[in-house]
């Protein structure tokens, strides 16, 4: 003969059981996560922090002529391999300036001189008139995708120019200042 529990007693047993589950103290363990997401980088340094280009005289400014051309080296070192497997190592060059006849002249907006600026070339030898100058926002590819960049020396030349014939005709005397920023990134 089966044991019969009245419906009302069965209901009370279920309520007591649910109450014991809901009212018992909960046990919890916390696991905290921590990570650093880094793209990787290289150390950049220049062999000069200031590049004096000396005095330039207005009559010497001519289209295509680079005056007081001076070498400067960018050192790239201590590259991390974090992003080297999936991205390319690059150096981007930025700075304010003006375009004169399609040639880029780096110069600060508050420079006293007019229509004159600094032309920058990424090369080992003194630039020739038709060599391509670095423009604001130019990016140099330093290593192919999947290749860790070794320590390198990137040679540059910088000098004073008026860019075009019109720029040279309208050049004005005064102090010339320019700031050029070299930025490393994996892309």
* Confidence (pLDDT) at 96: 96
**What is the number of other CB atoms lying within 10 angstroms of the CB of residue 62?**
13
Tell me the pLDDT band of 187, cut-offs 50, 70 and 90.
Answer: confident
Contact indicator for 159, 68 with CB cutoff of 8 Å:
yes
Average pLDDT, the chain: 84
What domains can you pick out in the chain, each with its CATH number? 43-186 (2.60.40.1090)
pLDDT value for 171: 93
> Could you tell me which of 76, 180, 68, 88 has the C-alpha nearest to residue 134?
180
The confidence score (pLDDT) of residue 147 equals 80
Q: What is the pLDDT of residue 64?
A: 84
**What was the pLDDT predicted at 148?**
79
Q: Which helix (H) or strand (E) holds 22?
A: helix 7-23
Q: Return the structure tokens found at 87.
A: 């991205």
Average pLDDT over residues 130-143: 94
- Residue 10: pLDDT over 60: no
* pLDDT on residue 118: 96
Which of 149, 158, 157, 180 lies closest to 76, judged by CA? 149
Task: Note the pLDDT tens digit of each residue in 33-85.
Answer: 766 656 567 899 999 888 999 999 999 999 889 999 999 999 999 887 665 56
Q: Provide the pLDDT confidence category of residue 17 given band limits of 50, 70 and 90.
A: low
Q: Which pTM was predicted? A: 0.77
Predicted confidence (pLDDT) per residue in 91-113, tens digit: 999 999 999 989 999 999 999 99
Residue 40: its pLDDT value, please? 67
């Amino acid at each position: 003969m089966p044991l019969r529990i009245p419906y009302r007693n069965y209901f009370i047993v279920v309520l007591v059981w649910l109450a014991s589950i809901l009212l018992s103290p909960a046990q919890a363990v916390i696991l905290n996560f921590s990570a650093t997401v880094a793209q990787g980088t290289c150390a950049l340094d220049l062999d000069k922090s200031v590049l004096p280009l000396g005095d330039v005289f207005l009559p010497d400014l001519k289209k295509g002529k680079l005056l007081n051309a001076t070498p400067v080296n960018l050192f790239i070192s201590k590259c991390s391999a974090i992003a080297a497997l999936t991205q390319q190592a690059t150096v981007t060059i930025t700075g304010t300036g003006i375009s004169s006849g399609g040639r880029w002249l780096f110069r600060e907006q508050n420079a006293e001189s007019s229509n004159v600026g600094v032309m920058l070339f990424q090369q080992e030898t003194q630039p020739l008139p038709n060599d391509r100058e670095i423009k604001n926002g130019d990016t140099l590819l330093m290593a192919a995708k999947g290749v860790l960049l070794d320590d390198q020396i990137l040679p540059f030349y910088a000098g004073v120019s008026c860019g075009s014939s019109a720029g040279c005709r309208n050049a004005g005397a005064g102090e010339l200042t320019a700031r050029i920023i070299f930025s490393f990134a994996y892309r």
